[in-house]
Amino acid sequence: MSSTVDAVAERANVSVSTVSRALRDMPGVSQETRKRVHRIAQELGYVPSLAGSRLATGRTGAIAIVTPNLSKWFFGQVLASAGRVLRLAGFDVLLYELADTAARERFFAGSSLAGRADGVLVFALQPTPEELATLESQNLPLAFLGSGTPGRSGVRVDDHAAGRAAARHLINLGHERIAFIGIREAADSTLGGVPPANRLKGYREALAEAGLEPGQELEVHEENSMAGGSRAMSRLLCAEVAPTAVFVASDEMAFGVLRTLKAGGIDVPGDMSVIGFDNHELSEILDLTTMDHSVALQGSETARRLLALITPDAGAEPDLVLSAQLIVRGTTAPPFPLRGRRTVTPPA
């Protein structure tokens, strides 16, 4: 087992207090003894016990990250980028994946974070008022990613504008019947995080301004997964008048959409344009037009904001609202002119 302060103190002929101060570069230690203490600590392979200093200072040196289902690409990415920032700043990262409702309840009911972390990063899950209260009661610094919690420090993307932009792209191409596939709050509430409702609003707004009123029939919501996207597209395919384009709220769902279309022999983008959202790592290979929203940046910036809240010197940074960027690839094109009159897919 590693040695303790006392060992170092004795070997260095100073008191433990001096060792403590020397090692943490606090004032009140002469240059000379500081060097000596450092050297001896090194020799002895001394590494301060976290538990000890935690107890004494109340600081834990750790940040908790609470996130929805990690197997979603988005959360993996964000976790990775946030984690790097935190670790670079010298913090440990404590991971709380709220993979299902049970886990979520356990987390919020359970064993208070105070004493485990110095701050909390909350990813894209809209805490209920009670949950928020629980979080606050620990009074730890909080930073939110993606959730619309007003007045809280964090980062989010301008979903409204992004929704508009995606819709505009399709409108500009000449589409008139543009469907929307949104993310439905999963039965298991934490699965996909909080659905980005504003994407829908932006979409509606753009369509309305263009004089297009698709109506309810062309708005479907499904679970955020390939399977969900697949189902959603199937539903859209039996609409009274099928759309010629569809804006899908996540790339993973868009993958499902593409699968369904392929299975149905519907050519993309010949018969149907598809635009996704995320710029998923693999959307490139599927040649999916999508909205990029700098996922990694979201993670790192949220982390940075939390750190600013924690370290006394750094001034609190203002909230960040990122705007998404259209990435044009091969799944969007002008509508096939005969669309709506045909019942059979033409050769590609």
Partner DNA sequence: AAGATTAACGCAAGCGCTTGCGAACCGGAT
Partner DNA sequence: ATCCGGTTCGCAAGCGCTTGCGTTAATCTT
Residues forming contacts to DNA in the complex (CB under 7 A) are 1, 4-6, 13-18, 20-21, 23-24, 26-34, 46, 48-49, 51-53, 55-57
Nearest to 322 by CA among 348, 343, 344, 302: 302
| Cβ proximity to its own copies, 57 vs 216, nearer residue | 57
Q: Should residue 250 be labelled a site residue for its own copies when binding is judged by CB under 8 A?
A: no
- Report cis status (omega within 30 of 0) of the bond before 269: yes
**What residues from 207 to 236 belong to the interface with its own copies (CB under 8 A)?**
226
Neighbours of 209 (CB within 10 A): 12
93 binds, among DNA, its own copies, none (CB under 5 to 8 A by kind): its own copies
Q: List the single partner that 13 binds among its own copies, DNA, none, CB under 5 to 8 Å by kind.
A: DNA
Does position 311 interact with its own copies (CB under 8 A)? The reply is no
Q: Looking at 46-54, 121-129, 178-186, 308-316, which segment touches its own copies (CB under 8 A)?
A: 46-54
Tell me if 125 contacts its own copies by CB under 8 A. no
CA neighbours closer than 13 Å in the CB half-sphere of residue 208? 8
DSSP secondary structure letters along 3-38: --HHHHHHHHTS-HHHHHHHHTT-SSS-HHHHHHHH
Binding partner selected for residue 112 from DNA, its own copies, none, CB under the kind-specific 5 to 8 Å limit:
its own copies
Kindly report the CA angle at 134 between 128 and 137, in degrees rounded to 5? 140
- In the complex, the smallest distance separating the C-beta of residue 268 from its own copies, rounded to whole angstroms, is 13
x/- string (CB under 8 A) for its own copies, residues 85-124? --x----xxxxxx-x---x-------xx-xxx--------
Q: How far apart are CA 60 and CA 189, in angstroms?
A: 30
From the list its own copies, DNA, none, which binds 151 (C-beta under 5 to 8 Å, kind-based)?
A: none
Amino acid at 155: V
Least distance to its own copies, CB of residue 112, Å: 5
Indicate the residue type of 196.
P
Instruction: Collect contacts of 114-117 with beta carbons under 8 A, ≥24 apart.
Output: 114/138, 114/139, 114/140, 115/54, 115/60, 116/60, 116/62, 116/64, 117/60, 117/62, 117/63, 117/64
Torsions phi, psi of 250, nearest 5?
Answer: -150, 150
- Give the binding site for its own copies (CB under 8 A): 1-2, 47, 49-52, 54-55, 58, 60, 62, 65, 69-71, 73, 76-77, 79-80, 83-84, 87, 92-97, 99, 103, 111-112, 114-116, 226, 255-256, 258-259, 281-282, 284-286
